[in-house]
Structure 1
Amino acid sequence: MTVLSEPIETVDLETRLLIVDDDPGIRELTAAFLVDHGYVVDVAEDAAAMRAALVQQAYALIVLDVMMPGEDGLSVLRSLDRATAPPVIILSVIGEEVDRIVGLEMGADDYIAKPANPRELLARIRSVLRRNQPRPETIASAPVAASASWVRPYLRFAGWRLDPLGRQLFDPDDVIINLSDGEFRLLIVLVEHARRVLTRDFLLDQSRGANAEHFDRAIDVQISRLRRKLQRSDGRGGDDLVRTVRNEGYMFTADVERR
């Protein structure tokens, strides 16, 4: 692994990135561009180097190339523990839409076509990092106990409990359900707009940002994954909570309380 900047123990984790690409030219140029824009950047040439870097350092985000010799990017993505791994932006060859869809199914947080425009990649990175920060309006709306101590807010629906700040979902039996970052953001959008029909474009804009490339299959894939995660042992949940509205989009059907 080549390190483009000296490790700084006190660096804010939100600024440390890992670029994984087998092409040394792309790897170094991309990293240099991001360093110029204030990030601390490490690079890895393959899956083995990436895993070694993750053992040694915590990262705010990984930029991961799909087409690499040996173990490819999708295989690497599949092996990550999405409950603890940093957000991942995958790079796929222009026109290879299947890579993007499969990447989303495996929990990628965004995707960009290669060759990537550095400024577009920078915008995508900033967007993903912003989406992973606690929402100020959620913090501001948290209830305050009589003792003036802060009380953690939850969004509750149909026996489920969603923690926007801790980024956790608890099922009716109080078991934590692991969600990818993309699934979590999509669920937040659905829950905060409960009982309303939401178009695919709206869901894409709200959960992935205005810079996200729009194609309907991306949201359909995420909805399918989310429904499986919301399925209870008795068979209820999933399709009941997220309803398909033909020719329009999706609706979250449960009543939601913030408490």
Structure 2
Amino acid sequence: MRFIRYSLGDELPRYGWIYQDHVGLVEGDIFNEYRRLEAGMPLERVKLFAPVRPGKIIAVGRNYVEHARERGAEVPEIPLIFLKPPSSVVGPGEAILLPPQSKQVDHESELAVVIGKRGKWIAAEDALDYVFGYTAANDVTARDLQKVDGQWTRAKGFDTFCPLGPWIETELDPADVLIHCRVNGELRQVGSTRDMVFSVQQLIAFISSVMTLEPGDVILTGTPAGIAPLKVGDVVEVEIEGIGVLSNPVKAL
């Protein structure tokens, strides 16, 4: 099933679900108790927002061997985790804004995991029971600032640096999912989650041994090789097999 956050006209965003390219309202809490109303509104008539408002975003660095190699970095022996602020989230069609502080902002296409229930010290074999669903993400990164700072908060934390969407897909096996990134229609990245150093289950187990995971939290699982700079006027598309395409234009701040 696919869940969205959407609005009609000037209305506030609300949760909905998709059935055969039509949208139905969801009443209640998608992470607890909810009721799906009839899907009668054509999807093309609604405005999509980021499908979740995360309390925290936990991202994983160098989780693909070839990406680590293209960065000239070692593959971590344990998951390399960092945080992106919720203020970095934007939805489908919203602009990625290039900040004046950076001269090189790169795209990073990623599978994102949306947590569905609270958990701490989650065993790997139970990890998928804590997943609500999956969406596409772009871990936008100011690469030059990442190198200068030596830690990643500023480089990863600018407003608009975490596009999510277009919706949450609840029926997906994350073990072998193709990931593509295109910029202006040109293929930049292609990979599969089967090539991740640490699987979704291992990441959830590791992260939950550090911090409690809450419903709506998002885990970015790492990017395949092929990262490259973005420039004003670009349109970057992250496509996740079984989910769909997340598209964002690039503009100057």
Q: Which category describes the TM-score, using the shorter chain as reference length?
A: under 0.3
Query: Which structure has more strand as a fraction of its residues?
Result: 2
Structure label with greater radius of gyration: 1
Greater relative contact order: 1 or 2 (C-alpha under 8 angstroms, separation 6 or more)?
2
TM-score normalised over the length of structure 1: 0.25
TM-score normalised to the size of structure 2? Answer: 0.26
Compare the two structures and name the one with the higher helix fraction.
1
